[in-house]
Structures are given as C-alpha cells and as structure tokens.
Amino acid sequence: MVSPRRVTRALLVVALCSAWAGSSVSAQSTARARAAENVRREPNGDVVARVEAGATMAVVGRRDRWLEVDLEGWVWERSLQATDRDGFDLVVSEPQGENLRDAPSGKVVGRVGRGTLLNRVERRPGWIKVRRRAWIWSASVVEMSSPVVAGPSGRASAAAAATPTVRPGAFVPADARGAVVLTAPAGDTVARVAPGIELEVVAREGSWARVRVEGWTWLPLRDSAAQPAGAPAAALKPQDLTSSPTAHRGRVVTWDLQFISLEHAEKVRTDFFEGEPFLLTRYGGTDGPFVYVAIPADRTGEMDGLVPLERLRVTGRVRIGASSLTGTPIIDLVALERVRTSR
C-alpha cells in the first residue's frame, strides 16, 4: 500500500456566498438582477412580474435559495384599476400587461401581467408608483450590501443587533449544509467545504465574503514526461482566454504585465462588483492586449507607489476570459511582484 506523500499546502482564496435559510432581512440589502428573470408570488409559485437585467429590488427575507423582495416601479395610470383584494389596492387591467419603469416615462425595468395585484406608493400626473412583495431565485441576482438578520416580527432582533458583522480576520464555520466555494462571485465552483469547517474571512463585498481555508490533498508525483490535458497554465496567454472566454475559468496564470492605472469598476462593468478595485494593465508591452487584474479590497494598499508603465509579474486566477463590456480578460490577484529593471 502506497503511503500518502506530502504535497504543497494549498490556500483557496475565493468568494463565498453566505446564506441565512428561513430568516428575513431588513431592506438595507439590495438585489440586482443578473439577467431577465421571473418574480413569483411564492417560491416556485405563480409569476407576478418579470424584471430586466440590472433591475434592483429591496431584499426583505429569504427562504432556502429564494429571496423575498420588494419590487417597485412606475406604471401608466390608465393600465391600473382600484381593488381591495388580499390587502392590495391596485390591479393591472391592461390585457397585454404593462411596463414597469424606473421613473415616469423612464427606463423599462420589468413588466407586470394583467391581473397582477399591486400597492400604491406614490402618484404623479398620469403615473403611479407601485410596489409588489414577491420572490426571486437567489442565483439570478447579485446582492449589493450586507443584510441585517431580523426576527419573525420583521424588526432586527436584539440578538442580531448585538452580533457584530463578521469582519476580515474572523473565523466562521460553514453551516449545516456546508459551503460552496467559487472562483469569484457568480464564478465557477472550485470546492465544497464540509459542514462545520472553519473559514477565515479576508475581505467582504456586500453579502459575499472572500475566504481562506487550508488543507491537504492527495497529489501523487507524476512522470515529468506526462502532460496534463489542455495547455499548461504557464503557456496560456490573454489571447487564448479571449478566444474561449469560459474554457479556462479558475486556471492560475503568471504573466509579466505593464501597469497603467488603478481603477474602480463602474456599475456597467457587470463582471465586477460596483466599485471593485482593479489594475488596468497590458500584456507584452505598449502594443499588447489589455488585462484587468481584480484586487481584493483589503489589498489595495499594496498598490501604493505603482508607477504607470512599471513592469509587474502577476499571478492570478482567471475570472473570465473576456469581460462582457470590453472583451478583456479578468484575473483575480493571487500574488504580485514588482519587476526591477537595471539602469
């Protein structure tokens, strides 16, 4: 029987989505739809509305993998009728349904069908702002801020109020269902953590935590002539990623890059958190392709003193081979070394 060999200890530094099954949360948490999605009367229930990608909703509760949300928007007044059914005061009367907008005559953020019951929030000439409490599949949205756990009454319980937010440096155990570890928020699964295993929180971004867990894995030494399937990570170039955007997710690459600037992601950059810091760099010099290097919020201090056109050796994990906005590869920073050139 071959005894296990000692192997290099791996640090998994990845994004983890926290879940509070069966609890409610205050409306301090906001969800943004990743893509067009149905909003339902109850989990797996009847569809009451459909929201467009980018639509935002206040999160007020959760059940398993469903979020309870307050959906708000403006509807043309002539498409509504008064009602007193089930605690609602308006119903959509237009046979084909009606658009839900972010302002009177504003951008369409969703659509409500005929017969959908709504509550009135505000009125302006020709328009009514409405609200509907309903449920949406949690994987279809990104939560924008940290929720506050609340008790059955809907108010934050004394225990929750007394419990501080989990901050970087703290250790938290995976819950009774374990934890799924992703390459990045909305990224691919790279590991599953057993229930009770403690995870070190190294950074937070809203309801996501960047965590570290240490462990050992069986990795037998192989004949040097044996080659793994696919191109070795060292041979991958940005062009390989852009030609096949999802094929190399989670792979670790080390590239010599030219630093241009430290940026913060705007809302339109949907492959990032809004405000997430990243380095704008070039691969292969001033004529090479651009590469975005996502920086954990707790490591931005390491970027102080970087000079435009400075050379860096960056090790990172591939988040996406081509960003949706510009087609530029995005890698998550693992390690960075400033390359000193002799004069």
Q: What is the CATH number of the domain that holds 325?
A: 2.40.50.140
CA 112 – CA 47 distance, rounded (Å): 9
Asked if residues 134 and 40 have their Cβ atoms less than 8 Å apart, the reply is yes
H or E element, residue 264: strand 252-264
Determine the pLDDT at residue 249.
84
Residues 28 and 126 in one domain: yes
Residues 67 and 174 in one domain: no
Q: 244 versus 110: which is more confidently predicted? A: 110
User: Residue range 53-59: average pLDDT?
Assistant: 91
Residues 139 and 152 in one domain: no
Query: Residue 222: pLDDT band by 50, 70, 90 thresholds?
Result: low
Paired residues of 131 in beta bridges: 72, 119
Per-residue buried b or exposed e for 112-127, using 16+ beta carbons within 10 Å of the residue's own CB: bbeebbbeeeeeeeeb
CA 287 – CA 28 distance, rounded (Å): 45
Range of the structural domain that residue 297 is part of: 233-338
Residues 160 and 137 in one domain: no
Asked if residues 248 and 321 have their Cβ atoms less than 8 Å apart, the reply is yes
Residue-wise pLDDT for 235-283, tens only, equals 789 998 888 888 888 888 999 999 999 999 888 888 888 888 999 999 9
Q: Which of 150-154, 197-201, 216-220 has the lowest mean pLDDT?
A: 150-154
Determine the pLDDT at residue 229.
47
- How many helices and strands in the chain, by DSSP H and E? 2, 24
Residues 14 and 159 in one domain: yes
Residue-wise pLDDT for 127-150, tens only, equals 999 999 999 988 888 887 543 333
- The rounded Cα 174 to chain-centroid distance in angstroms is 19
Determine the pLDDT at residue 64.
83
- Amino acid at site 152: P
H or E element, residue 241: helix 238-243
Determine the pLDDT at residue 167.
64
Residues 64 and 77 in one domain: yes
